[in-house]
Amino acid sequence: MKVVVWFNEVGKEDIALVGGKGANLGEMARAGFPVPPGFIVTSDAYFYFIEQTGLKEKIAEILKGLDVDDTEDLERRTAEIRRLIESTPMLPELAVEIKNAYARLAELVGSSVFRDPPFVAVRSSATAEDLPEASFAGQQATFIYVKGPDAVIEHVKKCWASLFTARATYYRAKKGFDHMKVGLAAVVQKMVDSEVSGIMFTAHPVTGEQKIIIEAGWGQGEAIVSGAVTPDRYIVDKNSFQILEKKVSEQKVMIVRGPDGGSREVEVPPEMRAKQKLPDDKIVALAKIGVKIEEHYGHPQDIEWAMENGKLYILQSRNITTIGKFSEMRSAAEGTDAAPVLKGLPASPGYASGTVKVIRDISELSKVQKGDVLVTTMTTPDMVPAMERAAAIVTDEGGMTCHAAIVSRELGIPAVVGTEKATEVLKDGDVVTVDAYKGLVYKGVVGETGREEKKVEVVRPCRGHHITATMVKVNVAMPEAAERAARTGADGVGLLRAEHMITATGKHPAWFVRNGRTDELVEAVKKGIRTVAEKFYPKPVWYRTFDARTDEFRNLQGGEEEPEEDNPMLGWHGIRRSLDQPEIITAEFRAIKELREEGIDNVGVMLPFVIHPDELLRAKELAMEVGLVPHRDVDFGIMVETPAAALRIDDFIDEGIDFLSFGTNDLTQLTLGVDRNNALVQKHFDEMHPAVIDLISYVITTAREAGVETSICGQAGSYPSMVRRLVRLGIDSISANIDAVQKIREVVYREERRLMLEAARRSLSE
Ligand code: PEP
Ligand code: MG
């Protein structure tokens, strides 16, 4: 058994032994790229550890009979397992190898374990890479600035223990993985103390243009990643390696390592501020490495790099998957004469082909295998696991904001909704190509891009993006998407939907109330909000209170008792229901209050579907009853999504709001009288209709005068034409879908510049 392997001893075929992260680092090291040196404590070592210490039986015993849907029990049992792993001493035969490896690493980096033990990062590297990253691998721990042999061993055990977080355990159970067979490796790698760092694209990440783009900033990468500094930007020709363009930006602050590890922000010394960060010869050297890495992987790369003592390091490299994703022009069928068999709305961008599986009943979900195209009338919360497996999703019903649309966007799966007859036209076993840029479905594998493409990651970590005066936020519905959402670098969450979070319990919130189990409801809400609010901390996260229509979640436990309404869209939902059945909203307020006590104080409350200021007043009273004081403890705002709220916005301002956000999905539906989910009338659903714009314009003007923050969280916040309009109207923030944040940020940036230019021209001509 190999307890420890060095990076250059492994490659991409060794995932079972060293996990995905380890295999990637190995692949790069072996190919001769300058990755910071390190080794991997193998998954074999982990298995040996749990076997020899008797932990294996103990863990199996603890997990016996576990119902992972019993959240409390799951949390309790997994915490016990983690405690067991962390408190069991490392076996001497493993410890000695890990210590030796660390000592050798110390020598390799020109130091010594005795004199000056080096800082390392210890990262989990999961061996079951086909489980969705955000919900599984990404949950496992990473520790930076670990120092000394004993600390390394402790942290390796912490990584192992992280295999048994409640969430990872839940997912394994749901996906049918054997808990005892999934292993975990731990990567131990030198921490680079970078004087300059940044990113490099070996092709333009959006247009695909064949040039090397390098962004560089002083200190460590975090400041660039978070957008806090504007990096230098260099463009290099891919063949001649001539530097084509250099844009040097002034940098005032940088992040450096503190004396005991950890990062801290310091001022850049004045003489360095306006200097070019990376000298010309390093720019060229880096570009050359970039081209080699691209050649190695056969695909354009998004690379993280750093320089320490004049030496360049490659920290990470991954395929650029964003190319063309934003050019809605690109089509699966471009250049072919195939005719689509179905037309619908392009609800979540992407393209894929796969085998059709028509789902008419929940019991058929297991038919959907990885890479299939899921076809159904309309998706429901219990279909989410099957949706995650699908290469694409096609529905009969729904508009841009139906369940299928929201969930697919967050999962990054192409989806075409509202085709009216997908379940009739398509049959099990048909192979189809879904072009979800255009909302078309073709029979067979069509076009050059029609090859099977599984779930694509459309969001790359956004680094060095433009800072805009108008904030660009993101909408989140599922806590599982929090990580992807945060990676967009958005300025906060402008809409955190409660519905998907609560219904993930499999139960309707009213069920908890009816069965006297509101404590569990509080826990579920807390858990969902915590996941998102932590990822964004300290940026604001506006939690919108429960707003499901009575027909939406009927198949959940307790959903069968929901009243039958002729017109649920105009019925018992939003704040009006919350006030009729206050136990639900009270539970939500309690959750927010208890999170505040944990230190999570970046959550705001947003009330949906208000038509009268009394509703706002009553909601505030309910919040106070549980000890959550509006405006003091928590920002309180409303959605403007009824013409009543828009026309009488003064009344709400008088009652007191910190912010408002346009719910253009409902505002458009109610202003134009067009059902947002009815495929037959979608062509009339136009958020840019002058009547809707007039309402929005009036509200923004009124709110600005009163000093109330304005935002938009309806689907139209992801549409460039609407966003340009809103920027001109003076909106304070835009909240877009995850897949649109980057594009929208560009649109906002441009429009703001255009406004400034126009103003400058006007003053010149005066
Ligand atoms: C809206 O109406 O625009 C909105 C964001 O809320 P929902 O889509 O949940 O109705
Ligand atoms: Mg709404």
> Could you tell me if 234 and 283 are in contact, meaning their C-beta atoms sit under 8 angstroms apart?
yes
Mutate to test the pocket of ligand 1, among 713, 726, 735 (most ligand atoms within 8 A of CB): 713
Domains and CATH numbers, the chain: 4-191 (3.30.1490.20), 196-319 (3.30.470.20), 340-443 (3.50.30.10), 471-738 (3.20.20.60)
Mutate to test the pocket of ligand 1, among 476, 575, 639, 676 (most ligand atoms within 8 A of CB): 639
Report which protein residue has its CA nearest ligand 1's atom 3.
663
Distance from residue 402's CA to the centre of ligand 1 (Å): 10
Strand 392-395 versus strand 415-417 pairing type: parallel
Ligand number with the minimum distance to the CA of 610:
2
Which residues does residue 473 pair with via DSSP β-bridges, in sequence order? 735
The low-confidence residues of the chain, meaning pLDDT below 50, are 130-139, 226-227, 324-331, 448-463
Mutate to test the pocket of ligand 1, among 544, 578, 641, 677 (most ligand atoms within 8 A of CB): 641
By C-alpha distance, which of 666, 626, 641, 659 is closest to 525? 626
Give the ligand 1 atom nearest the CA of 663.
3
Ligand number with the minimum distance to the CA of 399:
1
- The pLDDT score that the predictor gives to residue 400 is 78
Tokens of 87: 């408190």
Please return the burial class of 164, using the count of CB atoms within 10 Å of its CB with bins 0-12, 13-18 and 19+.
Answer: buried
Q: Report CA-CA distances (Å) from 646 to 243, 661, 697, 730.
A: 53, 11, 10, 16
Q: Which helix (H) or strand (E) holds 171?
A: helix 166-174
* The model's pTM: 0.56
Tell me the H-state helices in 53-112.
Answer: 55-63, 71-87, 92-108
Please spell the DSSP secondary structure of 414-471, one letter per residue: -EEE--S-HHHH--TT-EEEEETTTTEEEESS-SGGGS---S--------SPPP-SSE
Report which protein residue has its CA nearest ligand 1's atom 4.
663
Give the ligand 1 atom nearest the CA of 406.
8
Tokens of 488: 């967009």
What residues flank ligand 1, with Cβ below 6 Å? 401, 495, 547, 641, 663-666, 713-714
- The pLDDT score that the predictor gives to residue 449 is 42
- The pLDDT score that the predictor gives to residue 293 is 94
Task: Let me know if 713 is a catalytic residue.
Answer: yes
CA-based torsion, 81, 87, 91, 95: positive or negative: positive
By C-alpha distance, which of 216, 179, 222 is closest to 199? 216
Q: Which residues contact 271 (CB under 8 A, 6 or more apart)?
A: none
Report which protein residue has its CA nearest ligand 1's atom 6.
663
How far out from the chain centre does Cα 70 lie?
Answer: 26
Report which protein residue has its CA nearest ligand 1's atom 1.
663
How far out from the chain centre does Cα 765 lie?
Answer: 46
By C-alpha distance, which of 431, 465, 556, 453 is closest to 503? 556
Alpha-carbon distance 380 to 565, whole Å? 19
By C-alpha distance, which of 218, 691, 188, 683 is closest to 674? 683
Q: Which residues contact 89 (CB under 8 A, 6 or more apart)?
A: none
Alpha-carbon distance 49 to 85, whole Å? 9
Q: Which residue among the candidates 403, 465, 508, 573 is catalytic per the annotation?
A: 403
Alpha-carbon distance 608 to 613, whole Å? 12
Distance from residue 708's CA to the centre of ligand 1 (Å): 20
Q: Report CA-CA distances (Å) from 309 to 71, 145, 192, 306, 652.
A: 49, 18, 10, 10, 59
Give the ligand 1 atom nearest the CA of 547.
9
Which residues does residue 660 pair with via DSSP β-bridges, in sequence order? 638, 710
Ligand number with the minimum distance to the CA of 685:
1
Distance from residue 514's CA to the centre of ligand 2 (Å): 26
Q: Report CA-CA distances (Å) from 725 to 350, 468, 722.
A: 26, 15, 5
* 656 backbone φψ class: left, alpha, beta (φ>0; ψ -120 to 50): left
Helix (H, G, I), strand (E, B) or coil at 552: coil
* φ and ψ at residue 243, rounded to 5 degrees: -80, 115
By C-alpha distance, which of 47, 45, 43 is closest to 21? 43
Tokens of 593: 């209050």
Distance from residue 74's CA to the centre of ligand 2 (Å): 34
Helix (H, G, I), strand (E, B) or coil at 683: helix
Distance from residue 399's CA to the centre of ligand 2 (Å): 13
Tokens of 345: 């709305």
Whose tokens are 């008419």? That residue is 360
Report which protein residue has its CA nearest ligand 1's atom 9.
547
Mutate to test the pocket of ligand 1, among 666, 674, 719 (most ligand atoms within 8 A of CB): 666
Tokens of 423: 């379940």
* φ and ψ at residue 757, rounded to 5 degrees: -65, -45
Q: Which residue among the candidates 159, 402, 462, 713 is catalytic per the annotation?
A: 713
- The pLDDT score that the predictor gives to residue 497 is 95
Q: Which helix (H) or strand (E) holds 291?
A: helix 280-297
* CA distance between the termini of the chain: 81
By C-alpha distance, which of 525, 317, 532, 316 is closest to 410? 532
Distance from residue 680's CA to the centre of ligand 1 (Å): 20
Distance from residue 714's CA to the centre of ligand 1 (Å): 5
Helix (H, G, I), strand (E, B) or coil at 374: strand
Give the ligand 1 atom nearest the CA of 475.
5
Burial annotation 642-670 (CB, 10 A radius, 16+ → b, else e) = bbebbebbeebbebebbbbbbbbbbbbbb
Give the ligand 1 atom nearest the CA of 715.
3
Alpha-carbon distance 678 to 108, whole Å? 65
Give the ligand 1 atom nearest the CA of 641.
2
Strand 38-41 versus strand 431-435 pairing type: unpaired
Helix (H, G, I), strand (E, B) or coil at 746: helix
Distance from residue 666's CA to the centre of ligand 2 (Å): 5
